[in-house]
Amino acid sequence: MSIGAEVPRDRAKRLLVGRGRYVDDISLPRMLHLAFVRSPYAHARIDAIDTSRAMALPGVVAVFTAADLDGAVSSWRAAHKLFPTMAAPEQGVLARDVVRWQGEAVAAVAAESRALAEDGAEQVAVEWHELTPVLDGNQALAPGAPVLHRDMTDNLAYETKITAGDVDAAFAGAAHVAEEHFRFHRHSGISLEPRGIIADFEPSESRLTVHQSHQTPHQQQDLYARLLGLPEHKVRVICPDVGGAFGLKHHLMADELTACVAAKLLARPVKYIADRLESFLSDIHCRDHEVHARMAFSREGEILGLHVDDLFNAGAYGQYPRTSIAEGNQISRLTGAPYRHENYRADLRMAFLNKSILGHIRSVGHPIACAVAERLIDLGAAHLGLDAIEVRRRNYLDDDDFPRTSTGGVEFEYLSLNPCLDKALEIIDVAQFRQEQAEARAKGVYRGIGVATFVELTAIGPEYYGEGGQHISAQETCLLRLEGSGTLRCYTGATDQGQGIDTGIQQVVADVLGLPLGDVEVISGDSALCPVGGGSWGSRGAALAGEAAMRAATTLRRNILSIAASLLQKNAAGLTIEQGVVVDTASGTTHMAVSEIARIGHFQPYSIPEGVAADLTVVERYATRDRMFLAGNGLQIAIVEVDVDSGIVMPLRHLVVHDCGRILNPLLVREQVRGGVVQGIGAALYEELRYDPDGHLLTGSFADYLVPMAGEMPDIEVAHIESPTKTSELGAKGAGEAGTAGAVGAILNAVNDAISPFDASIAEVPITPPRLLRALGRF
Amino acid sequence: MKAPDFDYHRPETLAEALDLLARHGEDAAIIAGGQSLLALLNFRLAAPERLIDIGRLTDLKSLSEDHGHIEIGGLLRHCDLQASPLIARELPLLHKAIGHIAHPAVRHRGTIGGSLAMADPAAELGACCLALDGEFLLVSLQNRRWVAAADFFLGVYQTALRADEILAAVRLPKRRPGSIGIFDEIARRRGDFAMAGLALAAQTGDGGLSDVRLALLGVADRPILAGKTMAFLEGRPINEARIDEAAALIAGEIDPPEDPAYPPAYRRHLTGVLLRRALLELCS
Amino acid sequence: MSNKLRRIALTVNGEAVEREVPVRLNLVDFLRHELGFTGSHVGCEHGACGACTVLLDEQTVRGCLTLAVQADGCAVRTIEGAGENELMVDLQAAFHRLNALQCGFCTPGMLFSAQELLQANPAPSREEIRDYLSGNFCRCTGYQAIVDAVQAVAQMRHGARHGGRHGAPGP
- Asked whether residue C101 falls in the same domain as residue C140, the answer is yes
Neighbouring chains of B at 3+ CB pairs under 8 Å are A, C
> Which CATH number characterizes residue C96's domain?
1.10.150.120
Burial label, A33 (beta-carbon count in 10 A; 0-12, 13-18, 19+): buried
- Asked whether residue C19 falls in the same domain as residue C69, the answer is yes
The HSE-up count of residue A727 (CA atoms within 13 Å, CB side) is 24
The one-letter code for the residue type at B229 is T
Locate the chain A residue with the closest alpha carbon to C127.
A711
Q: What is the mean pLDDT of chain C?
A: 93
**In whole angstroms, what is the distance from residue C76 CA to residue C26 CA?**
13
Closest residue to A711, CB basis, from B2, B186, B189: B189
Does C131 lie at the interface with B, CB-CB under 8 angstroms?
Answer: yes
Domain that holds residue C153: 85-158
For residue range B108-118, list pLDDT tens digits in order.
999 999 999 99
Query: Is B5 in contact with C3 (Cβ distance < 8 A)?
Result: yes
Strand partners, A450: A638
Query: Is B261 in contact with A645 (Cβ distance < 8 A)?
Result: no
For residue range A184-216, list pLDDT tens digits in order.
999 999 999 999 999 999 999 999 999 999 999
- B199 within 8 A of B97, measured Cβ to Cβ: yes
Contacts of A702 in chain C (CB under 8 A): 44, 46, 48-49, 137
- Nearest CA of chain B to the CA of C48: how many Å? 9
- Asked whether residue C64 falls in the same domain as residue C94, the answer is no
- Asked whether residue C100 falls in the same domain as residue C149, the answer is yes
Sequence-distant (6+) residues with CB within 8 A of A52 are none
Model pLDDT, residue C1: 54
- Asked whether residue C35 falls in the same domain as residue C90, the answer is no
- Asked whether residue C18 falls in the same domain as residue C70, the answer is yes
Q: Which long-range contacts (CB under 8 A, 24 or more apart) does A553-556 make?
A: A553/A478, A553/A480, A553/A508, A553/A509, A553/A511, A553/A512, A553/A513, A554/A512, A554/A620, A555/A618, A555/A620, A556/A480, A556/A482, A556/A513, A556/A615, A556/A616, A556/A618
The HSE-up count of residue B129 (CA atoms within 13 Å, CB side) is 31
- Asked whether residue C89 falls in the same domain as residue C133, the answer is yes
**In whole angstroms, what is the distance from residue B194 CA to residue B173 CA?**
25
Model pLDDT, residue A634: 98
Closest residue to B7, CB basis, from C4, C66, C72: C4
For residue range A660-706, list pLDDT tens digits in order.
999 999 999 999 999 999 999 999 999 999 999 999 999 999 999 99
Model pLDDT, residue C164: 43
Please indicate, yes or no, if residue C166 is contained in any of the structural domains: no
- Give the alpha-carbon dihedral of A415, A418, A421, A425, to 10 degrees: -160
Strand partners, B213: B201
The reply to whether CATH 3.30.300.30 applies to domain B181-283 is no
Sequence-distant (6+) residues with CB within 8 A of B269 are A773, A778, A779, B251
| CATH 3.30.365.10 domain extents, chain A | 285-461+626-775, 475-622
Strand partners, C60: C55
ipTM of the complex as predicted: 0.97
Is the pLDDT score of B159 beyond 80? yes
Q: What DSSP state is assigned to residue B34?
A: -
- Asked whether residue C131 falls in the same domain as residue C154, the answer is yes
Closest residue to A709, CB basis, from B2, B189, B260: B189
- Name the band, by pLDDT with cuts 50, 70 and 90, for residue C165: very low
Going from the C-alpha of B251 to that of each of A16, A642, A651, B255, the distances in angstroms are: 50, 22, 29, 8
Nearest partner of C69 among C80, C88, C53, C56, judged by Cα: C56
Phi, psi for residue B211 in degrees, rounded to 5: 50, 40
Please indicate, yes or no, if residue C165 is contained in any of the structural domains: no
Does A207 lie at the interface with B, CB-CB under 8 angstroms?
Answer: no
| CATH 3.90.1170.50 domain extents, chain A | 11-131+191-245+249-282
Model pLDDT, residue B206: 85
Model pLDDT, residue A619: 98
- C68 within 8 A of C46, measured Cβ to Cβ: no
The reply to whether CATH 3.40.449.10 applies to domain B58-172 is no
Please indicate, yes or no, if residue C163 is contained in any of the structural domains: no
Model pLDDT, residue B207: 85
- Name the band, by pLDDT with cuts 50, 70 and 90, for residue C171: very low
Please indicate, yes or no, if residue C65 is contained in any of the structural domains: yes
- Nearest CA of chain A to the CA of C38: how many Å? 6
The HSE-up count of residue B85 (CA atoms within 13 Å, CB side) is 0
Query: Is B189 in contact with A122 (Cβ distance < 8 A)?
Result: no
- Name the band, by pLDDT with cuts 50, 70 and 90, for residue B284: confident
Strand partners, B8: B51
- A314 within 8 A of A324, measured Cβ to Cβ: yes
Query: Is B109 in contact with C61 (Cβ distance < 8 A)?
Result: yes
In the three-class reduction of DSSP (H, G, I as helix; E, B as strand; rest coil), residue A638 is classed as: strand
Q: Which of B5, B35, B266, B274 to mutate to test the interface with A (most CBs of A within 10 A)?
A: B266
Is the pLDDT score of C160 beyond 90? no
Over range C151-170, report the average pLDDT. Answer: 66
Last residue of a domain, one of C81, C99, C127: C81
Last residue of a domain, one of C63, C81, C99: C81
- Nearest CA of chain C to the CA of A111: how many Å? 12
Q: How many domains does chain C have?
A: 2
Going from the C-alpha of A452 to that of each of A278, A317, A455, A714, the distances in angstroms are: 35, 33, 10, 17
Nearest partner of A155 among A319, A331, A354, A359, judged by Cα: A354
- In chain A, which stretches have pLDDT less than 70? none
**Sign of CA pseudo-dihedral A565, A569, A575, A580:** negative
**What is the CATH topology of the domain spanning B7-53?**
3.30.43
Closest residue to B186, CB basis, from A115, A276, A646: A646
Over range B52-69, report the average pLDDT. Answer: 97
Last residue of a domain, one of C54, C81, C108: C81
Q: Helix H segments across A428-514?
A: 430-442, 462-468, 501-513
Query: Is C137 in contact with A113 (Cβ distance < 8 A)?
Result: no
Neighbouring chains of C at 3+ CB pairs under 8 Å are A, B
Nearest partner of A216 among A519, A452, A545, A484, judged by Cα: A545
Q: Which of C6, C40, C46, C106 to mutate to test the interface with B (most CBs of B within 10 A)?
A: C46
Model pLDDT, residue A650: 98
Domain boundaries, chain B: 7-53, 58-172, 181-283
Please indicate, yes or no, if residue C77 is contained in any of the structural domains: yes
For residue range B225-277, list pLDDT tens digits in order.
999 999 999 998 999 999 999 999 999 999 999 998 999 999 999 999 999 99
b/e map B140-165, b = 16+ CB within 10 Å: bbeeeeebebbebbeeebebbbeebb
State the SS3 of A587-614.
CCCEEEEHHHHHHHHHHCHHHCCCCCCC
CATH second-level architecture of A285-461+626-775?
2-Layer Sandwich (3.30)
What CATH number was assigned to the domain covering residues A475-622?
3.30.365.10
Cis status, amide bond into A403, omega within 30 of 0: yes
CATH second-level architecture of A11-131+191-245+249-282?
Alpha-Beta Complex (3.90)
- Asked whether residue C89 falls in the same domain as residue C128, the answer is yes
Is the pLDDT score of C167 beyond 50? no
